[in-house]
Amino acid sequence: MEARRASVLMHPPLSSSRADPEVVRASDRPWGAAVTHTVGVAPPSVRHTTGKPYPWQRIGIPVEVVPACASLYGLAPLEREPVDGTAASARNVPLPCGNHVWQSSSMTARAADRARYDRATAHLDAPLAIVDLDAFDSNADDLLRRAGGKPIRVASKSVRCRALLERVLAREGFQGIMSFTLAESLWLARSGFEDVLLAYPSADHEAFAELTGDPKLAAAVTVMVDDPAQLQLIDNSRRGGTEVVRVCLELDTSLKLLGGRVRVGALRSPLRSPAQVADMARAVAGRPGFKLVGIMAYEGHIAGVGDSVAGRPLRSRAVRLMQATAKKELAARRAEVVRAVRVVAPDLEFVNGGGTGSVQHTAAEDSVTEIGAGSGLYVPRLFDNYTSFSGRPAALFAMPVVRRPGVGVVTVLGGGYPASGAPGRDRLPVPYLPEGLRYDPQEGPGEVQTPLLGAPADDLLLGDKVWFRHAKAGELCERFDVLHLVEGGEVTATVPTYRGEGHTFL
């Protein structure tokens, strides 16, 4: 009889008065139909309208009312032969609470992940967030492979968890952090990170006063500039601080077409031509209290735009054409910029470029000495649409089912965590597990509740977890204080996010 419960998760712990309780799938009865009836006899109200028996009827499973719920994990289809005994078609894995997960051998990889995540977090209430360390480490290996031996500087905004920054930087091939605010940079430097590149200009006077007054911080942190006025702002913030400030220049990487009338790429630095960057380099070199140590060029229109969007072949082809043109133009211009700057600063320490979506392309440029990447560790949904690489989703969040409004519908708590960027459906988190759920087009993800539609809804009961993927990487961590780290089928550690450590830098 045990084997006949294949593919079903049972929770919470069953009453000890039931020696051999059985579980009925929520979807194996019409909405709201009671299941209190004679054991082994299906009442008319719960028979298929087609006359076909349900799976539990076909194989003779007794039907009883039990204080347990059943979530579907790849249950055998109707035409499959009954499972009459322990066999290779299913395996039994205990939950921490003492019940069991039966995993069907016919599971999809995603369904197996769902079983694993539910098993690992069975003792935890949702909402919660996890990082699958097996996937995280696999993604790190893939980034290193694509970097071809060049070091990777980790973008902290895509991780936002010190424990995971430490984990990835402990791997050979990862070197340094690319931070997103000056306050964060100083905090990381005080925490022991010795090579922090601030990827964005700052106007934080208090933080600049700290930086210029502390030799340890000044040695560990490099700031970003693209305008002489930013150097003046730093000097105005010194308050007596005399430490030399390490400076990196940012190059505009955008692609300009039709004589500049069409621009593709982010509006970032005003420094575009070799002459402009060289002039800025001379401004830094000629100003006491500053040292030029690096150049950064982030090609977001290549690294952060997917070139294989499902259902949009013409757009995907256009993106690939644009990116091929942009890579060629930028590679040549970046090399010229580096040559021009090295005339001014021959001891330049690094030239940073790239992003998760362009690691192998940027690494192939001789002028680039290191790669910047971070989202490729978590692999959020925006990085599903690339022809050049594929990763494993590593960061997910779970929301509990709190309502069952009708057939094919469940409502989960919260879920409305949109990502930054131009508004659109691609900025929404995506219901990931169980497979087949979708948003109600009239509501979408909500601030305090989110209805989800689809056949899998009928296999979810109150308290079951629905797993989501965020559209972007680190922004997930602004919603949760901790990340539960999953290895195999268990949570092996729980670590704080930046928010959990009391920091919301932006």
First to last CA, the chain: 55
Q: Whole-prediction pTM value?
A: 0.79
Sign of CA dihedral 51, 56, 61, 62: negative
Tokens of 431: 């219901």
378 neighbors 395 (Cβ within 8 angstroms)? yes
What average pLDDT does the segment 231-236 reach?
98
pLDDT digits (tens, 9 = 90+) for 420-449: 998 988 899 999 999 999 999 999 999 999
* Residue the block writes with tokens 């066999």: 87
| Whether residues 65 and 171 fall in one domain | no
pLDDT digits (tens, 9 = 90+) for 366-396: 999 999 999 999 999 998 988 888 899 999 9
Q: In 277-426, which ranges are E strands?
A: 290-297, 350-353, 370-373, 395-406, 409-413
Percent of the chain predicted with pLDDT > 70: 79
Of the candidates 26, 23, 32, 29, the one whose C-alpha atom is nearest the C-alpha of residue 43 is: 29
- Domain-located, residue 113: no
Nearest to 67 by CA among 17, 5, 2: 17
CATH number of residue 168's parent domain = 3.20.20.10
Q: Is residue 125 part of a domain?
A: no
Contact present, 125 and 148 (Cβ < 8 Å):
no
How remote is the C-alpha of 241 from its chain's centroid?
A: 39
Instruction: Based on the fold, state whether residues 194 and 218 are members of the same structural domain.
Output: yes
Q: Are residues 372 and 428 in the same domain?
A: no
Q: Say yes or no: 217 and 365 in one domain.
A: yes
The better pLDDT of the pair 49, 335 is held by 335
Q: Quick one: 374 and 227 in the same domain?
A: yes
Which residue pairs from 307-311 have beta carbons closer than 8 angstroms and sit at least 24 positions apart in sequence? 307/385, 307/386, 307/387, 307/388, 308/385, 308/386, 308/387, 309/385, 310/385
User: Would you say residue 240 has pLDDT above 80?
Assistant: yes
In the predicted structure, residue 80 carries a pLDDT above the cut 90: no
Give the Cα separation of 165 and 177 in Å (integer). Answer: 8
Q: 117 — phi, psi (to 5°)?
A: -70, -40
Q: Quickly state the pLDDT bin for 301 (edges 50, 70, 90).
A: confident
pLDDT, the chain, mean: 83
Residue 360 pLDDT exceeds 80 = yes
Name the domain boundary from 351, 383, 415.
383
Residues 194 and 177: their CA atoms lie apart, in Å, by: 9
Task: Answer whether residue 155 shows pLDDT above 50.
Answer: yes
Q: Which of 344, 365, 383 is the last residue of a domain?
A: 383
Q: Identify the weakest region by mean pLDDT among 14-18, 148-152, 191-195, 264-268.
A: 14-18
pLDDT(280) > 80: yes
Structure-model confidence comparison of residues 244 and 319, the more confident one:
244
Say what the pLDDT of residue 136 is: 98
Q: Identify whether 506 is part of a domain.
A: no
Domain around 412? 391-501
Residues 84 and 152 in one domain: no
Q: pLDDT tens digits, residue range 312-343?
A: 888 888 888 988 888 999 999 999 999 999 99
Report if residue 379 sits inside a domain.
yes
224 with 371, same domain: the answer is: yes
Count, residues in the chain = 506
Q: How confident is the model at residue 94 (pLDDT cuts 50, 70, 90)?
A: low
- Is 12 domain-assigned? yes
Q: What is the pLDDT of residue 308?
A: 79
Query: What is the pLDDT confidence band of residue 63, given thresholds at 50, 70 and 90?
Result: very low
Q: Are residues 245 and 293 in the same domain?
A: yes
What's the domain count of the chain? 3
Establish if 147 belongs to a structural domain.
Answer: yes
Instruction: Judge whether 212 and 186 are in contact, CB under 8 Å.
Output: no
Q: Which amino acid is at 29?
A: R
Question: Of 383, 406, 437, which one is at a domain's C-terminal end?
Answer: 383
- Say yes or no: 191 and 270 in one domain: yes
* Residue whose C-alpha is closest to residue 352's, from 125, 195, 162, 133: 195
Here the CATH number for the domain that contains residue 410 is: 2.40.37.20
Write out the DSSP string of 281-311. Answer: HHHHHTSTTEEEEEEEE--HHHHSS-S--TT
Reading the block at residue 268, the tokens are: 């970032």
Domain co-membership, 364 together with 395: no
What string of DSSP letters covers 329-389?
A: HHHHHHHHHHHHHHHH-TT--EEEE--GGGHHHHHT-TT--EEEE-HHHH--GGGS--SS-
Q: Given this model, what pLDDT does residue 186 score?
A: 98
What is the predicted pLDDT for the residue at 137? Answer: 98
Identify whether residues 318 and 410 lie together within a single domain. Answer: no
Q: Is residue 117 part of a domain?
A: no
Residue 263's pLDDT is 86
Q: What pLDDT sits at residue 72? A: 38
- Residue 127 included in any domain: no
Residue 503's contacts (CB-CB under 8 Å, 6 or more residues apart) are: 184, 187
Mean pLDDT of 403-427: 94
- For residues 371 and 261, membership in a common domain is answered with yes
Residue-level pLDDT at 288: 97
CA distance 96 to 101: 10
pLDDT at position 2 is 35
Strands 255-257 and 290-297, sheet pairing: unpaired
HSE-up (13 A, CA, CB side) for residue 340: 21
